[in-house]
Structure 1
Amino acid sequence: MKSVLIVGDDRFANQLFDTVARGFPTDAVGLTAPEDPQLPERLGQADWVIEIAGQHIERKQAVLRACAEFAPGLVSSDSSVATRHELLRDLPAAFGKRYAISHFFFPLSHCPLVEVVVGSASDQPLVAGLRDMLLDSLGGRLGRSVMELPDTPGFVANRLGLFLIASAINRSSAQAIDPNAIDRAAARSLGLPRPALFGTADLIGHPVLIDLLIGLSERLPTADALQSAAPAAIARLKDIEATGNARFIDRQLGREAETAAVDDQHVADLVAALASDRDRYVERMCSECQISPEIAALAMRRGYGWTAEW
């Protein structure tokens, strides 16, 4: 792999550019916007194109149509909820032979996971040689922790993580319990990292979180538990945005309370309910995706830093 072009124009694209540039020679990595008038020419000069054009399917597919026409080599998409099959829709069948999902987790400095999808039941799989190049570049040059997963909406880590964040938002709102207290308790009893659930929601950013919840809800079966959890969580996030306060957790208060005891029975009961929500959802998700709970736990550990087993 001699040259890499990243196609995106937000903070995630900039983070990815910095990470890729550390693994490749400086002059071998480029960053450009999806609407760059020179995009066809730049695509034609890249051995590997990484599409990271946000969450909206129309914008991502516009980049992929240009890739199918002008990019000669490997193409991968950083997709959080849209499947490989969906992104390949209406593109030339042969394009699938050089196309994969490479879903990075952010912030890249703390989250090593890349969920990779190289095949779909009804699409051409990525050819073996390009698959090996992709895995070597991600794991070797970039130092990422790579997991190959089935082509399902949200894949594994985002599907479970988004469901549990939505469940936590709804349960805390219904009982008027302080998110900071929930995060402190959840981090201890659910094996979550320091940001826990509401802190992770703040790190993702509420507008992006709303887009992810909407996008995942649109793609999952109607009976999926996220379908009942997402609408109220989205409404709560929009209410917070409307107040001008874009965070659940005040950073200063969070630092001051990090070591405080969490002995409120209401908080303990809520966290126990979240553990039950998680376990039921893991069982259903693993059955649908045909993966083991151990694989799901590994994805959550590498993607979000969760240490709890189930």
Structure 2
Amino acid sequence: MPTGVDRREVLQGVAAAGVAGVMGPGPSPGPAGTRQVAPALFVSHGSPMTALDADDYPQALKRFGDGVSAVKALVVVSAHWETDARVHVTAMAAPPLVYDFYGFPEEMYRLRYAPPGAPSLAEDVVARLSAAGVPAVADGERGLDHGVWVPLRHAFPEARVPVLQVALPADATPAQVARMGEALRPLRSEGVLLMGSGGVVHNLRRVNFRNKLASAEPWAAEFDAWVAGKLAARDFLGLQSWMDAPNARVAHPSAEHWLPIYFVLGAALPEDRITPVFEGFHHGTLSMRSFALRA
């Protein structure tokens, strides 16, 4: 890069050209000229400290990223951003990072991840969501929270693929979040990877912070197994009745880390295969179960 040129100025120029200009005309044709469909991905992002890890979980995310080709952009719904009235969509050419965690080692606040944004795609996402009955608006100020950048630093470490984040509606229902995924599902055929970032089990009051490798608590393992069974059976509608699951209120005292799974399931295609990305627990109660939908 020429001396004196700020990287974010470069990214702003790149992103302003639009996603098509950044990544080319679209995903490469597959066999017999068919277009490759981008996956949809759900990640349980766990503690922000996973950003510094190099164990089996980040390695699994890296393997997933290495196995994905011809992705034009990433559209992510994270547990850590909820907006009232209208769903906000990041629309900055060079979105900053949001360090939305407190009391962590200073090294965490020095971590960088600088993908370009996708303002033109943000406009498209806003239009598609609004047309589906989910009022949405472009947001030119908000950056990417750790539910986005922590897993993406492992999956796509080179930060070349444009990223935008979509907020959860405040007090959303599973059906509302699934509708968001359904509205954006056609983007997968244009090479846009749709991602939900949350947690299959997330109760910070029950976390064993002293032991990352602690065995899963029985109540957490039971809820996680219920989710795994529903996914294996493709019972996506049954997953919407999650409050009827064993230990649901303990697994999720609040719903924000659970809801992003419906964004991914709403984006499912009939021909999708559900493929595991990672299975296991951190700190005894954080299920790190992550999976992809691949056509």
Mark yes or no: TM-score above 0.5. no
* Structure with a larger share of its residues in strand: 2
Specify which structure has the bigger relative contact order, considering alpha-carbon pairs within 8 angstroms and separated by 6 or more residues. 2
* Structure with a larger share of its residues in helix: 1
Q: Answer with 1 or 2: which has the greater Rg.
A: 1
| TM-score w.r.t. length of structure 2 | 0.28
